[in-house]
């Protein structure tokens, strides 16, 4: 089964959700020229890392962002791995990934499990507790957020439960670009799955971000990679390749979880 993916590698207007919705609307219109099945956005794309103001600029129950993607999904008949947003609930703010299908239905949400203390996330965000497993195009996928990729046991918790592709949404800094590339390729190889990673570009008052969104096959081959600037990155993936590779090298059958 072939699926066309387009990643929206965008710069983010710091702390300005209204401006970012305007930017996103234009990027979706541009992305549809690629005729994708799934469009992917980066992490915290509505606010950026304006953490100190999340109490006022976070999206209440992610409602505005969900409605934004629902309308776009129905207009263009396209699926969204809608990046993540600062999602303000009754007890705090979470960094929440949104999955919307091409009929405009919210399929799944996942809140970032591992908070990145180097960027003070733990001071302003609450960690999630659920897996990022979801169904789209009648296949099983996993969705994680940025720092999550440094925890291979968390990624395996998804692929061991059937995920054939891993969607990663991020605001990964340019100073650790080599880690970004190496970790993503490793996660693809060791889990024998596709990795679709959408990072932001540009900078905020404290950070320069790497860009370099990537689409990687289960052998670890990079099918497409963006540069450092704003870009739409597209590639077609063949999901049936996952089953074939897992038969050739049956790592899931040969695991010894009773001993580790």
Tens digits of residue pLDDT in 53-93: 999 999 999 999 999 999 999 999 999 999 999 999 998 99
Q: Establish if 134 belongs to a structural domain.
A: yes
Q: Establish if 143 belongs to a structural domain.
A: yes
Global pTM? 0.97
Average pLDDT, the chain: 97
Q: Establish if 83 belongs to a structural domain.
A: yes
Q: Which domain holds residue 91?
A: 2-252
Residue 217 pLDDT: 98
Residue 114 pLDDT: 98
Q: Establish if 95 belongs to a structural domain.
A: yes
pLDDT, average across residues 114-121:
95
Helices 177-191 and 152-159: crossing angle, nearest 10°? 40
Residue tagged active-site, from 112, 121, 171, 193:
112
Q: Establish if 216 belongs to a structural domain.
A: yes
Q: Could you confirm whether 146 is annotated as catalytic?
A: yes
Identify the CATH number of the domain in which residue 24 sits. 3.60.110.10
User: How many domains in the chain?
Assistant: 1
Q: Establish if 78 belongs to a structural domain.
A: yes
pLDDT, average across residues 192-210:
98
Q: 245 pLDDT band (50/70/90 cuts)?
A: very high
Residue tagged active-site, from 7, 70, 94, 146:
146
Residue 94 pLDDT: 98
Q: Establish if 184 belongs to a structural domain.
A: yes
Write out pLDDT tens, residues 147-170: 999 999 999 999 999 999 999 999
Q: Establish if 190 belongs to a structural domain.
A: yes
């Amino acid at each position: 089964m072939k699926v066309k993916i387009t990643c929206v590698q965008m710069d983010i207007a710091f702390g300005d959700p209204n401006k970012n919705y305007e930017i996103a609307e234009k990027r979706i219109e541009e992305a549809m020229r690629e005729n994708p099945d799934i469009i992917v956005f980066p992490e915290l794309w509505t606010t950026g890392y304006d953490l100190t103001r999340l109490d006022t600029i976070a999206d209440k129950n992610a409602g505005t962002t969900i409605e934004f993607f629902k309308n776009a999904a129905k207009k263009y008949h396209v699926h969204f791995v809608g990046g993540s947003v600062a999602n303000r609930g009754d007890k705090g703010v979470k960094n929440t990934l949104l999955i919307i299908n091409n009929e405009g239905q919210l399929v799944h949400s996942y809140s970032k499990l591992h908070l990145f203390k180097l960027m003070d996330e733990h001071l302003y965000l609450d960690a999630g507790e659920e897996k990022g497993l979801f169904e789209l195009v009648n296949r099983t996928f996993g969705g994680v957020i940025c720092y999550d990729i440094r925890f291979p046991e968390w990624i395996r918790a998804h692929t061991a439960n059937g995920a054939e592709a891993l969607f990663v949404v991020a605001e990964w800094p340019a100073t650790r670009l080599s880690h970004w590339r190496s970790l993503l390729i490793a996660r693809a190889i060791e889990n024998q799955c596709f990795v679709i990673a959408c990072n932001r570009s540009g900078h905020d008052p404290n950070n320069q971000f790497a860009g370099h969104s990537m689409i990687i096959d289960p052998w670890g081959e990079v099918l497409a990679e963006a540069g450092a600037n704003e870009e739409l990155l597209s590639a077609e993936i063949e999901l049936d390749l996952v089953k074939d590779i897992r038969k050739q090298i049956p790592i899931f059958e040969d695991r010894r979880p009773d001993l580790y």
